Structure 1
Amino acid sequence: MVSSAPQPELPQEVPADRVGAVETRGIEPVPDGERHGRARQMFWTWFAANISILGLPLGATLVAFHALNFWQAAVVAAIGSAGSFALVGGLSIAGKRGGAPAMTLSRAVFGTRGNLGPTLITWFSRVGWETINTTTAAYALLALLAAAFGWHQNTPLTVVCLLVFIGCTLLISGLGHATIMWINRWATYVFGVLNLVVMGFLVATVDWHKVLHSGTGSVAGMIGGVGVIAAGTGIGWANAGADYARYLPRRIPGGRLVVASAAGAGIPLVLLISLGALLTAGDPTLATAADPVAAIHAMLPGWMAVPYLIAAFGGLLLSNHLSVYSAGLTLVTLGIRARRTVAVGIDVVITLAGGIYFMLIAGSFYGPFTTFLTVLAVPITAWVAVFGADLVIGRRYDPKALMDTRPGGRYWYQGGVNWRAVGAWAVGIVVGLLLTEVKTSDTDVWFSGPFSHSWLGSSGLGWAVTFVVSAALYLLLRRLFPERAESEAVEEVAA
């Protein structure tokens, strides 16, 4: 017997009338009546963000700098990428719960003024990743023009290639959330297939004798490798997860977001990182190449140049438009009095300048790349720890208070700062830096913490210590100094 009771209507993935239209919402929380979508949107979001060729150099570092063999690198790739994106999925629960971007929700934890520090670091992180994406994509486009038309790299052509990639990014990021969600799903099919074809040909170039007879790396090398992969993948996106979950209905179970995020990022990253390790085990040139696009291109037959370079360009574009979208929201959260679309425009102009520097002035790609990851992984991890601990103990977000940055607001705390959160964040950063060495090469060391050559430091676990210290200290301070009723705090500030 079929029940005649009305069945609840399932939410649409992306409302058709919003695709192609400019998103007018900024950082203000999304009301329940405008929520839509399903948890699997997070799968497509993070799959699209991670099918770029930057996964190959990450795999190369595991073999060249951590002395791991291919099988160890594959295990490290799975733990580091899927594990770190499970964390991204967990933090995206805050977006579903509060309906606002991650760094706007962070005001509830750090205070409206105390949140400025973590938000500024987040914006630097986004701009840095965008610059790396833009630089790599421009190299891919230059190589594509050389393969198709015989045009060789020069300064004007380099600038044009940068502008083409920036223009594509601006178009997609400017339109906003609904268009990004729609493009992520369908473009993933196209560029995913192209990447699989390219990967198949790259596997055929592997020197299997060297791969099968390579030595086994140490456990410490594997532990450090997990840190490198986590810092280069999920940790870099952890402060953006809520940006893409804020339109999801509250009733979606948080566990589904965790699984969808871990699987969406883990599948392409494990394949790409493992392939990078496989290629480097047979030929170490990929790990030291100034231009990774050209290094991979050289491994392929000539007729594969066009499909490979299109796949490289498209994968980087899918990652970059997500980063630019989040950077625009972060810039507005910082206090820039501009619409989201204007903030996106400011961001891409800065990215263009960074791309010009990397391609026409700087002499190295990997030096700045690894230095960038090392430096920013510490403060971002400290923020993740404090924000995540606050979320786990049951934080609920007040939509009106998130947008109220005036003295006396609910999230004003003491002088606009929640000192328990800011203090735990700052201590975590200091501890992490004590275990960190910042360098672009063995001879060019920028900073070396006093414990950077200890087992924890040399294993690349400064970020893990940062996480534990920040989370534990925040929870301890909350217990020692309980948060008073919000009404009492407001009355005290008003008085």
Structure 2
Amino acid sequence: MADSTKNDRVGAVETRGIEPVPDSERHGHASQMFWTWFAANISILGLPLGATLVAFRGLNIWQAVIVAVVGSVGSFALVGALSLAGKKGGAPALTLSRAVFGQRGNHGPTLISWLSRIGWETITTTTAAYALLALLNTLFGFGRGTVLTLICLLVFIACTLLISGLGHATIMWINKWATVAFGILNLVVMGFLVATVDWTKVLDAPAGPLSGVIAGIGFIAAGTGIGWANAGADYARYLPRSIPGGRLVQASAFGAGIPLVLMISLGSLLTAGDSSLATSSDPVSAINAMLPSWMAVPYLIAAFGGLLMSNHLSTYSAGLTMITLGLRVPRAWAVCVDVALMFLGGVYFMLIAGDFYGPFSTFLTLLAVPISAWIGVIVVDMVRGRSYDPEGVMDTGRTSRYWYTGGFHLPAVAAWVVAIVVGLLFTTASTSADDVWFKGPLAGSWLGANGLGWLVAIVVGGALYALLGRRTKVTLDSPDTGSAALEEATR
């Protein structure tokens, strides 16, 4: 237990990298996943997601609430199911993915996952810097300039580095207590925002088409749970194997679902009465303008804190992903590299790019497809009862039992690549009607028009791997059967 204390103690730098956690060092409860995903989703980024449902999908408030529930709770139930691999194998998600794709074949999914994390961190950092700029303007009358913008970016990044650098135990502790504090503050702010709603416009808004509801569910799922699906195991790897898998699924679904449903629904409610939130290049200022002046300070503090809760989780996972890619540095140094890239991304968004929502939506659309293809393969592999060899996942050379054919597990890699291609056939990525980055030849079909290219990628990836793959037996204690895996996930 001494090693456990050293590697996972609040306030101390976590010394463990991506190597699997042995059973003797496992600890914690399923409720940790509730606080983890509550913290990740308490930020104000849920408000602009909700705004898009009304402004761009044409939904009324009741449809938007249904979309928020199905899209967020459903997608995070999937995150919880995928986190079972972390409980089982004791390692981060993309490290365990080596067992499925092979030591070299895993580089593709890992690189995509790292880009996803960097993108989310950039968006979160940019929004938090806007909040801090607004706070300084409210308190001291400071105007927005290049130097002050850079300072605000650096302050937020320093806070992120402090928490993520310390590691797992500190993150788990902060998730619980800071989420309670910022959650209460957000509830107060939400109460005042509701008071600004033009209820006549909201209640008179006509219902949108069924296609808009389906597209909305796809957009919310892609923008919430699908973006975190490749990180669930990162936070479950310290949990004892004896924790029932069903509890992890429930904790993840409700932990993320509660704040997301509230935030997305509120964003939809605000936009039904006033579309300014959906079209603003600075969502923080747009929301601030809806509040009485004396509420500006608590609102901006809540916005900054909520974004920090999300960002430190993403940064922690990004550090582990970079080590999996081959960066040979201690975990804390990998986090430092990540925050440096995050700073550059924030500079681009705030000082160079002229549009916030265009790149945001395009980013979600494009990366959701390869991540979804990975999910499809991983889900089938888990159902087959994959067991993980700790030495095998850490051995990246030809002696690894996960070397397969030249470092590639061809059935998994082929299924992933084909699923990406097919998913992109149904995908449109654009910042506006006149600025189309990519449009697949089947984007005009029912699936494509409803933004379901990512779902196509999951189905195709899983189905192809089920057909092409043959189970590679990796015996630790005894091989699990597919029925046992399903029982673990649902009990």
Corresponding residue for 2:403? 412
Matching of residue 402 in structure 1 with residue 390 in structure 2: no
Check if 1:273 corresponds to 2:260: no
Aligned residues: 472
In structure 2, the residue matched to 1:445 is 436
State the 1:463 CA deviation: 1.0
CA–CA distance in structure 1, aligned partners of residues 438 and 236 of structure 2: 37
Q: Equivalent residue for 1:220?
A: 211
Query: Which of residues 137, 154, 162 in structure 1 aligns to 2:145?
Result: 154
1:492: which partner in 2?
none
Partner of 1:35: 26
Q: Give the secondary-structure state (helix, strand or coil) at the position aligned to 1:447.
A: strand
Structure 1 residue 465: Cα displacement: 1.1
Name 2:318's counterpart in structure 1: 327
CA distance in 2, matches of 1:244, 1:408: 29
Q: Counterpart amino acid of 1:172? A: I
Q: What letter matches 2:399 in structure 1?
A: G
The answer as to 2:327 corresponding to 1:336 is: yes
Length-normalised TM-score, structure 2: 0.95
Aligned-residue offset at 1:408: 3.0
1:484 CA displacement: 6.0
Residue identity matched to 1:169: T
Aligned to 1:21, the other structure's residue is in SS state coil
Deviation at 1:333, TM superposition (A): 0.2
In 2, Cα distance between equivalents of 1:461 and 1:129: 21
Q: Which residue number in structure 1 is paired with residue 489 of structure 2?
A: none
Structure 1 partner of 2:288: 297
5 Å-filtered alignment, 1:68-467, equals 68-467=59-458
SS of residue matched to 1:438: strand
Distance 1:353 1:17 in 2: 31
Write the distance in 2 (CA, Å) between the matches of 1:102 and 1:31: 16
Please give the per-residue CA displacement for 1:310-358, whole angstroms capped at 9, x wherever unaligned: 0000000000000000000000000011110110000000000000110
Counterpart of 1:46 in structure 2 is 37
Deviation at 1:414, TM superposition (A): 0.1
| Cα distance between partner residues in 2 of 1:393 and 1:65 | 41
Residues 389 and 474 in structure 2, CA contact (< 8 A), matched pair in contact too:
no
Q: Secondary structure at the match of 1:23?
A: coil
Query: Where does residue 486 of structure 2 map in the other structure?
Result: none
Secondary structure of 1:274 counterpart: helix
Name the stretch that deviates more: 272-281 or 386-395: 386-395
Post-superposition shift, 1:464?
A: 1.1
Does the CA-based 8 Å contact 1:101-1:246 persist in structure 2? yes
SS where residue 439 of structure 1 aligns? strand
Deviation at 1:15, TM superposition (A): 9.9
For residues 62 and 5 of structure 2, the distance between their equivalents in structure 1, rounded to whole angstroms, comes to 40
Equivalent position amino acid for 2:437 in 1:
W
* Residues 234 and 485 of structure 1, relative CA distance in 2, 3 Å threshold: closer
CA contact (8 A) 1:14 1:182 kept: no
CA contact under 8 A between 1:27 and 1:101: conserved in structure 2? Answer: yes
Aligned residue for 1:450, secondary structure, equals coil
Structure 1 range deviating more: 452-461 or 92-101: 452-461
Consecutive unaligned residues of structure 2, counting only runs of 5 or more, are: 476-491
Q: Give per-residue Cα distances to partners, 1:124-159, cap 9 Å, x unaligned.
A: 000000000000000000000000111111000000
User: The residue matched to 1:248 in structure 2 has which SS?
Assistant: coil
Match of 1:440, SS state, is strand
Letter in 2 for 1:180: I
Is residue 14–residue 37 contact of structure 1 (8 Å, CA) maintained in 2? no
Q: Is the 8 A contact 1:81 1:266 kept in 2?
A: yes
SS at match of 2:83: helix
Matched residue SS, 1:239 = coil
What is the aligned partner in structure 2 of residue 20 from structure 1?
Answer: 11
String of CA shifts for 1:21-40, please: whole Å, max 9, x gaps: 00000000001000000001
* SS of residue matched to 2:432: coil
Aligned mates of 2:177, 2:197 — CA distance in 1 = 31
Point out where structure 1 has 5 or more consecutive residues left out of the alignment: 1-12, 488-495
Q: In the aligned structure 1, how far is the partner of 2:216 from the partner of 2:8?
A: 45
Is 1:470 the equivalent of 2:461?
yes
Residue type matched to 2:147 in 1? P
Counterpart code for 1:151: F
For residue 19 of structure 2, give the secondary structure of its aligned residue in structure 1.
Answer: coil
User: C-alpha separation between the residues in 2 aligned to 1:205 and 1:323?
Assistant: 33
Displacement of 1:359 in angstroms is: 0.4
Letter in 2 for 1:288: T
User: CA 1:485–1:64 in structure 2 vs 1: closer, same or farther (change >3 Å)?
Assistant: closer
> What's the secondary structure of 1:136's corresponding residue?
helix
Q: Tell me the C-alpha RMSD between the 2 structures.
A: 1.4
Q: Percent identity?
A: 72
CA distance in 2, matches of 1:15, 1:255: 30
Deviates more, 1:27-36 or 1:401-410: 401-410
